[in-house]
């Protein structure tokens, strides 16, 4: 019998962390993801990555919603808040623990920085593996004593089990009919990354991967700075049996000094532009045409 399949319904998303107001680069990225979904007759969704209790602020959530609405962006369905999905993260962590792929890490940042042997990977310093060799007894003793700990993945072991992996990439800017190409994932370069933080119930890598799957995201559009993270996300998908979306990484916006725009230097917040009386329709049209204010440009690919 011939099985007829519905054409896949495209779902894209924007997933800001509410640690500040959105800047021009966020607005541009969100518009690109929204347009991509609309051009395909698909859906665009919004997720707030608010599990970092020390940096996330409710007023920034309200600000993000206000900024996106001002730009004219509309999302489908309810906003997904990571802070409401902790049980799902926990369940995934338990599965990975049962697979003996995670270990508790008691190191402080200072311990790691002090380790002369720490090599550098695409995501920064690679964890030197200090706690990987602790005995089961020592781990249990320290956990029982209430020692603060993160949970790291034993990357070599996980990669050995998962085998060679690739993720599908579409080039940005995408052209109609472009075909996704496989990119070999190299999660080993990142070392034993954290999947559950000391100060948060999950890490970005775990929560983002689980949420994209739960939200039915088929296409992830995000900045080039998260390319290396995609290798890790692909591995987590393989370990947990999750579908792998197609990834589109775009260049980041940089200022006149060549440095990427960041919330911390207060660079061109959408809220400031609004306060200055900017016309959002015009701004959205300029962003779509990659016409940025003086001094701001796309980083060289």
Least distance (Å) from ligand GLU to the CB of residue 232?
11
Select 17 or 130, whichever has its Cβ closest to ligand GLU. Answer: 17
Q: Whole-angstrom Cα distance, residue 34 to residue 219?
A: 11
Q: Which is nearer to ligand GLU, 217 or 238 (CB)?
A: 217
What residues line the site for ligand GLU (CB under 6 A)?
Answer: 15-17, 49, 208, 222, 226
Residue 275 corresponds to which tokens in the numbers above?
């306060």
Cβ 208 to ligand GLU, closest distance in Å?
Answer: 5
Q: How far apart are CA 171 and CA 177, in angstroms?
A: 12
Q: What is the DSSP string of 188-246?
A: GGG-S-EEE-SSSSS-HHHHHHHHHHHTT--EEEEEGGGHHHHHHHHHHHHHHT----E
**How far, in Å, CA of 260 to CA of 254, rounded?**
4
CA dihedral 56, 60, 62, 64 (to 10 degrees): -110
Given the complex with ligand GLU, which of 131 and 229 has the nearer CB atom? 229
Residue 196 or 207 with smaller CB distance to ligand GLU: 207
Of the pair 265, 279, the CB lying nearest ligand GLU is at 265
Q: Is 274 left (phi over 0), alpha (psi -120 to 50) or beta?
A: alpha
Give the DSSP letter string of 50-119.
Answer: ---TTT--HHHHHHHHHHHHHTT----SPPEEGGG-HHHHHHHHHHHHHTT-EEEE---HHHHHH-TT--
Closest to ligand GLU by CB, 208 or 284: 208
* Residue bearing tokens 């380790």: 115
**Which of 152/249 has CB closer to ligand GLU?**
249
CA max distance for the chain: 64
CB of 279 to ligand GLU, least distance (A): 26
Nearer to ligand GLU, 37 or 107 (CB): 37
Tokens standing for residue 117: 């042997």
Contacts of 254 (CB under 8 A, 6+ apart): 260, 261, 296, 297, 298, 299
Q: What's the min distance (Å) between Cβ of 48 and ligand GLU?
A: 9
Radius of gyration, CA atoms only, the chain: 20
């Amino acid at each position: 019998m011939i099985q007829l399949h519905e054409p896949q319904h495209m779902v894209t998303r924007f997933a800001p962390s509410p640690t500040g107001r959105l800047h021009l680069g966020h607005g541009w990225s969100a518009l690109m993801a929204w347009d991509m979904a609309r051009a395909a007759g698909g859906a665009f969704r919004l997720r707030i990555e608010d599990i970092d209790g020390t940096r996330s602020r409710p007023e920034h959530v309200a600000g993000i919603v206000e900024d996106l609405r001002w730009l004219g962006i509309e999302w489908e369905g309810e906003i997904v808040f990571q802070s409401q999905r902790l049980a799902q993260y926990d369940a995934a962590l338990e599965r990975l623990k049962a697979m003996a792929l995670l270990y508790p890490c008691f190191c402080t940042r200072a311990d790691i920085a002090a380790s002369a042997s720490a090599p550098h990977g695409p995501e920064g310093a690679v964890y030197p593996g200090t706690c990987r060799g602790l005995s089961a007894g020592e781990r249990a003793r320290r956990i029982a004593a209430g020692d603060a700990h993160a949970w790291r993945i034993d990357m070599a072991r996980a990669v050995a089990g998962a085998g060679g992996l690739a993720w599908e990439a579409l080039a940005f800017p995408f052209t109609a009919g472009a075909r996704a190409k496989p990119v070999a994932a190299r999660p080993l370069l990142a070392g034993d990354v954290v999947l559950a933080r000391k100060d948060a119930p999950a890490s970005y890598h775990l929560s983002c991967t689980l949420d994209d799957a739960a939200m039915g995201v088929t296409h992830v559009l995000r900045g080039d700075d998260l390319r290396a993270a995609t290798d890790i996300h692909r591995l987590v998908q393989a370990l947990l049996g999750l579908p792998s979306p197609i990834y589109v990484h775009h260049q980041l916006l940089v200022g006149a000094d060549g440095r990427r725009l960041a919330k911390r230097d207060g660079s061109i917040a959408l809220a400031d532009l609004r306060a200055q009386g900017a016309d959002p329709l015009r701004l959205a049209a300029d962003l779509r045409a990659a016409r940025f204010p003086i001094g701001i440009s796309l980083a060289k690919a």
